[in-house]
Structure 1
Amino acid sequence: MFAAENGLKGDPRLQGISEAIRVVPHFPKPGIMFQDITTLLLDHKAFKDTVDIFVDRYRDMDISVVAGVEARGFMFGPAIALAIGAKFVPFKKTQKTAR
């Protein structure tokens, strides 16, 4: 849905990105399909394509700061910020409460 809404439907980069993400069924509990991006980070082309899609979208929006929320934001935010000529600010999540 995201791809279609953002003009990415049919973008050949999406298939490679999707194939580079490992899906771990039933983790951390039954019924959850965990999307493991570490395999995407190991694939130079898929990682570059992921960053490039964000850069293509935000390059001309006069963005001065990119905020990356841990942990995925720490992986993608600096590269996107660098490519669009913005600063990068990492944010740490607040402590989760025990349930």
Structure 2
Amino acid sequence: MITLSKTEREIIESSIRDIKDFPKEGIIFKDITTLLNNKEAYGVLMNHLYQRYKEYSLDYVAGIDARGFIFGAALAQMLGLGFVPIRKKGKLPYTTISQKYALEYGVDEIEVHIDAFGEQKGAKVLIIDDLIATGGTANAAAELVNQTGAECIECCFIIGLSFLEGIKKLEEKTKVYSLIEVN
């Protein structure tokens, strides 16, 4: 398994900005916009992801709405694969299947086109997003991929907030790779 070198980790970590008390007091928000506009850091990140996943025999890369689209679409193109968006409810134009998941207060729902992974049963899919916290959205995304007849091979996150235990919960369903773990 390919993991980040110390130098790669330092380049990527130093390009992510912490915003205190956003979106509410007590939260330290991990802002990836500074990673995206740093051509060296974004290049190191995307090259690392390409090197890690080029031997996985994947069929598709799926990105979780919305920041997962940024990394997922670029990685899919680099790997010569199709990209599938996993969207919030009501955003896809064709027939969909959906999966609900719990939020701190209430529920939300994501969906994917019923034919997103083609006619091939058992298509191998990598799910990618910028961050995993409590894991609700990621768990729902993995469930959704599996409901289509495809197989979630791994979930990849740029940042994993391991102290919230979403990673541990998701590992019950699939392999999980977080480039940077925050304890």
Normalization by structure 1: what TM-score?
Answer: 0.81
Q: Is 1:73–2:68 an aligned residue pair?
A: yes
Q: How far apart, CA to CA, are the structure 1 residues paired with 2:47 and 2:13? A: 15
**Structure with greater proportional helix content:** 1
Aligned pairs, number: 94
Q: Is 1:93–2:88 an aligned residue pair?
A: yes
Q: How far apart, CA to CA, are the structure 2 residues paired with 1:64 and 1:34? A: 33
Q: How far apart, CA to CA, are the structure 1 residues paired with 2:28 and 2:53? A: 29
Q: Is 1:59–2:60 an aligned residue pair?
A: no
Pick the aligned partner of 2:24 from 23, 29, 43. 29
Asked if the contact 1:66–1:88 (Cα under 8 Å) also holds between the matched residues in 2, the reply is yes
Q: Is 1:48–2:22 an aligned residue pair?
A: no
- Deviation track 1:39-85 (CA, whole Å, cap 9, x = no partner) reads 11100110111111211111111111000011111110111111111
**Cα deviation, residue 30, structure 1:** 2.1
Pick the aligned partner of 2:33 from 26, 38, 49. 38
| Percent identity over paired residues | 37
Q: Is 1:11–2:11 an aligned residue pair?
A: no
Gap runs ≥5 in structure 2: 91-101, 106-183
- Deviation track 1:2-43 (CA, whole Å, cap 9, x = no partner) reads xxx9643x4311111111111101211222110011111100
Q: How far apart, CA to CA, are the structure 2 residues paired with 1:54 and 1:61? A: 11
Asked if the contact 1:25–1:34 (Cα under 8 Å) also holds between the matched residues in 2, the reply is yes
Asked if the contact 2:3–2:52 (Cα under 8 Å) also holds between the matched residues in 1, the reply is no
Asked if the contact 2:2–2:51 (Cα under 8 Å) also holds between the matched residues in 1, the reply is no
Asked if the contact 1:64–1:85 (Cα under 8 Å) also holds between the matched residues in 2, the reply is no
Gap runs ≥5 in structure 1: none
Provide the aligned C-alpha RMSD in A: 2.3
**Cα deviation, residue 94, structure 1:** 3.7
Normalization by structure 2: what TM-score?
Answer: 0.46
Q: How far apart, CA to CA, are the structure 2 residues paired with 1:58 and 1:11? A: 19
| Paired residue secondary structure (1:56) | helix
